A and B are shown apart, each in its own frame.
Chain A
Amino acid sequence: MLPPPAVFHFLWEINTDLVKDGASVRTNGRLISYKPEGSKAVLSGQQSSAQCHVYVQTTLVEPFQPILGAQYFVLGEIEKTDGLTGVILHARALSNVDGVDLTLMQKAIREQRCFFKKRIPEINEQAPHCEPSYVKNL
């Protein structure tokens, strides 16, 4: 009855094998395009110098006010397709979080993952990295 919990993933992790098909995730990125007729949006994120894109299906969260260039927080299910788009995120919740402190948020997520990993190291799948917050990886 209740949907599964949506684990926080960074945008660049969604295209990798860390996230399985059908998994519930929450992530954030910058809205760079939106097509209302197909309910398709594209979020982009940056890791070091590499840009990555994720397609978002926004059927369930419409209508919403799209602000291109703003940061959005999205929660939904991943569908891995073999087509050109690759991975599609079917959004169940979408909100504008423009102005969010990205550095602080990433630090918080990493610290939380570190904590989870230390608790149950052998069965933890949610922490791909565990870097202490004082180690800068830029």
Chain B
Amino acid sequence: MAVNPADADADELPSVLWGLDPVFSAYSRLYITDILQMKESRQVPGVYFYKTHPLFQVDVLGTVVYKREREDFYCYGVDDSTGVINCLCWKNEKWNDQGESTECRDPSGSSRGFNIEDELKRLKEAERKSTVLEIGDLLRVRGTLKTSRDAREIRATSFYKVNDPLMAVQISRMLEMPQLYRKCYDQLFQMPRDDLGGTEAGGSSHFHCLLSRSVLALKEFLLEKEVARFRPYDVEFLLHPLIQSSSAEQVLSMTLTSIILR
């Protein structure tokens, strides 16, 4: 494995390769005890390592054991039986104006047809109700992991109360987690192998070389054209000269070309 001598954090995966790990882009379902014990990356603060996987987004399901409400957010303490973590759940302003909801509702319930305003109000109310929880309720949170004042917490991007009268959701989560760990999180992150032509030792260094050349090509293009924002497929053409070697990559380049020409 080619190791960059200038990289002092040799035991951590270099940050340029993090995007190759699917776990990095996913909301990882880890036990809260693991979430609390994970080490923060030395390369980029805000990203954490579970074994060899970099991640910053998590998905937890647990019982609310602590609740704090402020004007803008709820802070729920979630317990999944392995640990307890604080989840910061922002309130949505559109839930606030519920004052007129009861008056507009048609009390007789006559068949006036589908009244879109009423339905929207009911939807807003349902959304709001799914975010107000009491101690003992089951909460599902998906969000980014942050460390603030020495405590790990989850800044929720989405959260909702889970109705689980038969404990089916909790049971299936308990059955699923060890499988996820065995198949995914506890597996070592493998660098993607180069094509069949490359040797074992030469494969990864060829890949590194390819990667640095493509990064350089992209950067030069963006500086030259003074591009502030771009879409990935608009700049894929820059990478075409670099990937010519094997049949697999020719197929890939053909696919990319057809997407761009469409």
Contact = CB atoms under 8 A, between A and B. Distances in A.
B174 A112 contact: yes
B19 interface: no
Contacts of A8: 81
Nearest to A104: B171
Interface in B60-93: 63, 65-66, 77, 79-86
Contact of A105 (B32, B167, B181): B167
A130 interface: no
Contacts, number: 77
A92 B84 contact: no
Interface stretch (A15-23, A34-42, A94-102): A94-102
Given A99-B166, A100-B166, A101-B166, A5 B84 contact: yes
Given A2-B86, A5-B80, A73-B167, A108 B174 contact: yes
A3 B82 CA distance: 12
A99 B165 contact: yes
A92 B82 CA distance: 17
A2 B66 contact: yes
Contacts of B177: 112, 115
Given A99-B165, A112-B178, A5 B82 contact: yes
B123 interface: no
Contacts of A114: 178
Interface string B153-167: 000000000000111
Interface string A69-112: 00001010000000000000000111111111100110111011
B178 A93 contact: no
Interface size class on chain B is 20 to 34
Contacts of A115: 177-178, 181
B167 A109 contact: no
B65 A93 contact: yes
A3 B83 CA distance: 9
20 contacts: A2-B77, A2-B84, A2-B86, A3-B66, A5-B33, A5-B84, A6-B81, A8-B81, A26-B63, A75-B65, A93-B135, A94-B136, A96-B165, A97-B167, A100-B167, A101-B166, A101-B171, A108-B175, A112-B177, A115-B177
Interface of A: 1-8, 26, 61, 73, 75, 92-101, 104-105, 107-109, 111-112, 114-115
